[in-house]
């Protein structure tokens, strides 16, 4: 029996600034290279900045979907990442829009840091979770809390990205208990072939995607 298809991935990490938003967007770009049309959703109400990273206007987003506007009218194509659509964040609970998102394309949900109710809602709605951390002890500890929360909600942890490291991540992989990929340090993570290759490797560990 094979791995079930994953339509919605929650990108989670217990500590802010570890690279969740970059991971959501770069992993989406990896799906474009696999001939998919991914959607990245900013579910961080406190710091909804995904559209800034993606260079989209942020004029439409989760609040529009929650109000009943179609996804086609609300998602914005990302000029910085051709083939990726972005649903900008807003002051709306994930429960109000995640159920309206499609199941026929990869959806990557950029969650807030920590373990607040919004994070739990995003993890519970997702088919699977990817944990993001750096190699720093505190970041790993908080990433493990995110993994534990996901599993407590019944959402499998299918991968882990260790951002800005070229070191050995086998210890982190054992602790997270999921395939773990180091993402090399880069001053230009949105235009770096080595970073692309690392996210391609992460995408390859995550199983089939619609």
pLDDT in tens, 37-46: 999 999 999 9
User: Across the chain, which distance is largest between two alpha carbons, in Å?
Assistant: 46
Beta bridge partners of 183: 163
Predicted model pTM: 0.95
pLDDT at 209 over 70: no
- State phi, psi for 39 to the nearest 5 degrees: -120, 130
Going along the chain from its start, the domains and CATH numbers come out as: 8-203 (3.40.50.300)
Task: Tell me the average pLDDT across 56-84.
Answer: 96
pLDDT at 207 over 80: no
Q: If you ran DSSP here, which 8-state letter would residue 127 be given?
A: S
- What does the alpha-carbon distance between residue 124 and residue 145 come to, in Å, rounded to a whole number? 15
Using one digit for the tens of pLDDT, what is the confidence trace for 130-161?
999 999 999 999 999 999 999 999 999 999 99
Strands ordered across the beta sheet of 39-42: 76-77, 85-87, 39-42, 107-110, 8-12, 128-133, 157-163, 180-183
**Residue 208 confidence (pLDDT):** 67
- What does the alpha-carbon distance between residue 176 and residue 188 come to, in Å, rounded to a whole number? 27
């Amino acid at each position: 029996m094979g791995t079930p298809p994953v339509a919605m991935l929650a990108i989670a990490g217990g500590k802010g600034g570890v690279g969740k938003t970059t991971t959501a967007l770069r992993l989406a770009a990896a799906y474009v290279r696999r001939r998919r049309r991914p959607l990245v959703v900013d579910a961080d109400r406190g710091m909804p900045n995904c559209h800034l990273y993606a260079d989209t206007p942020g004029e439409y987003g989760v609040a529009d979907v929650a109000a009943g506007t179609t996804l086609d009218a609300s998602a914005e194509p990302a000029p910085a990442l051709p083939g990726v659509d972005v649903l900008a964040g807003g002051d709306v609970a994930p429960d109000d829009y995640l159920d309206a998102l499609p199941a026929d394309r990869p959806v990557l949900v950029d969650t807030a840091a920590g373990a607040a109710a919004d994070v739990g809602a995003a993890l519970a709605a997702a088919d699977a979770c990817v944990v993001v951390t750096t190699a720093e002890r505190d970041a790993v500890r908080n990433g493990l809390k995110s993994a534990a929360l996901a599993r407590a909600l019944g959402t499998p942890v299918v991968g882990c990205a260790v951002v800005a490291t070229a070191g050995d991540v086998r210890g982190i992989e054992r602790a997270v208990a999921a395939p773990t990929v180091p993402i090399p340090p880069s001053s230009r993570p949105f235009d770096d072939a080595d970073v692309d290759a690392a996210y391609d490797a992460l995408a390859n560990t995550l199983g089939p995607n619609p």
